[in-house]
Amino acid sequence: MREIKFRAWDKNESRWETFSLGTLALLGADYYERYENWCEWTGLKDKNGKEIYEGDIFAGANRNVVVSWWKTGACWNADGFGTLGGCTPEVIGNVFENPELISKEI
């Protein structure tokens, strides 16, 4: 069973911070106001060992793709690229810090 954790953008420190599910349960409501752009960890790592989170972007065959949850398939999907289970992509950015990468043709 994979560890459930999230990352969120710390508006005060201008950086990403990672939280385990247990830590989130202990945080107060005021603490949540400090963070935005909550993303769940897929349980996978890219080819460089970097954790892959919802909203991450990596290069697909013809275009850059965004990692998202695919409800119908109950799996992590790479925006038309297919499920993430059998591939080892390289994260090149995320939708929050690098929106210009989303529709870039390769």
- Each of the 106 residues of the chain gets a pLDDT tens digit; together they read 778 999 999 999 999 999 998 887 787 776 778 899 999 998 888 889 999 999 999 887 677 888 888 776 666 776 655 556 566 688 999 999 999 998 655 4
In a domain, 106, yes or no: no
In the chain, the number of structural domains is 1
Domain coverage including residue 22: 5-101
d(CA 21, CA 66) in angstroms, rounded, equals 23
Tell me what percent of the chain is helix, strand and coil, each rounded to the nearest 5. Answer: 10, 45, 45
* pTM assigned to the model: 0.82
